[in-house]
Amino acid sequence: MRLLHGELPSRPLLVGAGVISSLLVVISSLAPDSPITSKIPGSWFFGIPGGPGTLNFLSGLSGQLLFYLGFALGLVAWFELVRSVRSSRFSMRELVGVGLAWFAPLVVAGPLYSRDVYSYAAIGEMVSRHISPYLYGPNILGATPYLNTVDPFWGNAPAPYGPIFLWLSGVLAEITRHDAFVTMLALRVLAIGATIAIAVLAMKVAKAKGKDPRLALVLVGLNPLLVFHLASSAHNDAYMIALLLAGLLAFYRRHPILAVVLMSLAAAVKIPAIIGVAFLAWSATPGNNIKTKVKPALIYGAISMVTLASASLVTGIGWGWINNLGTPGMARSPAVPTMAAAAWSDRIFSLVGLSLGFNNWLTVYRAAGFLVAGLVALYFLYRSERYGIDKAIGFTLLALVLFGPVIQPWYIAWGLVLVAMSPTPRTINGVVMVSVFGMLLGIPYGPSIVAWTVYVMLGLGAAVYLMDRLGFRVATGVRNWAGQSVARFSHLA
């Protein structure tokens, strides 16, 4: 597959490349020291110490090499599939066939990139035992199979999830008769189903807006972020996004009350979905006259609160999650702008003897980040008619993640899905680039790779700008080269 001005690959070549990519990732996950899947006994059928399918001869450099080959080949194959669909190749039926062939091997692999699904199972066991996950972490379960596979980092962390998801996890723990492995497996099956629902709903929204549903399928349903971090990893973000899209589709079909209820239920899984309700209220009347927005804001707000209150009351789980919304911020990554800014500020000011402490800097920058995210939300709220409500919500969610306390690949999927459903040519380029960076975040040392890539890009950009201001001709040459490179990429994508 030639990336630079090459002919579009045939369907057999694309299918073969995707299948080989998936197989390489699955095989590399069987290595004893594979970092992309849990190696704790009880975490999967095979590929664990002392269990079947562990490739003891595949370790260290060889296992990593297979993984990165599969990882890169998969991204290239998806990139070429996007190009093919943009060129009006492949019917919907053919695209579905390509997707099934690509990702069928991943079904037999254990949850990849994350151990969160094991925490979900433990939380479900807590709920089934009438232990509040809002007050305690999974460690309270003691020496049980549920706790064996939980990441120790989250052992004492209370749950930041809404009552709908906790209730669902508790029901699954009871249905599976408190079998830790089967509970995890049930959660993964449901997450795969929710991811499929996201793909179907995205196509329906695209069709409702007069856009090509095939593009929605390849950019959303076949997006590596969704396949690996929502379906394979079984993150509960899949339920939130599916409900969010269902609400958006109901809104486009002129069922605003149902739309508000569905988006509020999405927020009862994870709170960021509540942003959708605000955009629905604003879009209920045309224009930007604030006076005309007050009544729908009050009505929609009341419906949303009643829905959330009903979810908390009916499930019997309560509102404790509101106090735990900062739990994800316990994880720290150099790829988070607010954290990077705090680290650099602490280092620079320490050199001149004005150290305020990293944690103090972090508090300041996180507050500033939320302020910036709020301003971005107001901008897209005011411009929602221009961008469309789906893109306006999507860009707002992306800003919330970018300027928030933590960035995870599955968090990026929140806004990316809404932006990608009815894309413009420029949007497609952005979705591809953000998806690639999101996938890089999930690999070993990925956050540092992404962080330093951004630092270098910003540094080079600042240097070119400074040279340009000083009159150096080299800056003009670099700028022209960069412009040509971007134009070439836009043509390819």
Kindly tell me the sign of the dihedral angle through the C-alpha atoms of 363, 365, 366, 367: positive
Domain-located, residue 473: yes
Instruction: Quote the pLDDT of residue 485.
Output: 54
Number of neighbouring beta carbons within 10 Å of residue 39: 19
Q: Is 145 in the same domain as 62?
A: no
Q: Is 17 in the same domain as 37?
A: yes
Q: Is 94 in the same domain as 242?
A: no
Number of neighbouring beta carbons within 10 Å of residue 56: 9
Instruction: Quote the pLDDT of residue 70.
Output: 95
Q: Is 100 in the same domain as 119?
A: no
Domain-located, residue 268: yes
Give the range of the structural domain holding residue 76, as residue numbers without chain letter.
Answer: 1-110
Q: Using only C-alpha atoms, what is the Rg of the chain?
A: 23
Domain-located, residue 464: yes
Q: Is the pLDDT of residue 24 over 70?
A: yes
Q: Is 126 in the same domain as 201?
A: yes
Q: Is 64 in the same domain as 154?
A: no
Q: Which residues have CB under 8 Å from 85's CB, separation 6+?
A: 95, 212, 214, 215, 218
Spatial CA neighbour of 282 closest among 304, 297, 264, 263: 297
Instruction: Give the relative orientation of helices 274-283 and 290-315 as an angle to the nearest 10 degrees.
Output: 150
Domain-located, residue 427: no
Q: Name the domain boundary from 110, 132, 159.
A: 110
Q: Is 169 in the same domain as 76?
A: no
Q: Name the domain boundary from 301, 319, 337.
A: 319
Q: Is the pLDDT of residue 4 over 50?
A: no
Instruction: Quote the pLDDT of residue 167.
Output: 96
Dump pLDDT digits (tens) for 295-305.
Answer: 999 999 999 99
Domain-located, residue 340: no
Q: Is the pLDDT of residue 19 over 90?
A: yes
CB 404 within 8 A of CB 414: no
Q: Name the domain boundary from 319, 335, 363.
A: 319
Into how many domains does the chain fold?
A: 3
Q: Is 153 in the same domain as 38?
A: no
Kindly list the distances between the CA atom of residue 11 and the CA atoms of 38, 203, 466, in Å, as whole numbers in the listed order: 34, 21, 47
Domain-located, residue 104: yes
Number of neighbouring beta carbons within 10 Å of residue 103: 22
Q: Is 246 in the same domain as 234?
A: yes
Domain-located, residue 136: yes
DSSP 231-296: IIS--THHHHHHHHHHHHHHHHTT-HHHHHHHHHHHHTT-GGGHHHHHHHHHHTSSSS-HHHHHHH
Buried b (16+ CB within 10 A) or exposed e, 232-253: bbbbbbbbbbbbbbbbbbbbbe
Average pLDDT, the chain: 88
CA distance 451 to 453: 5
Domain-located, residue 405: no
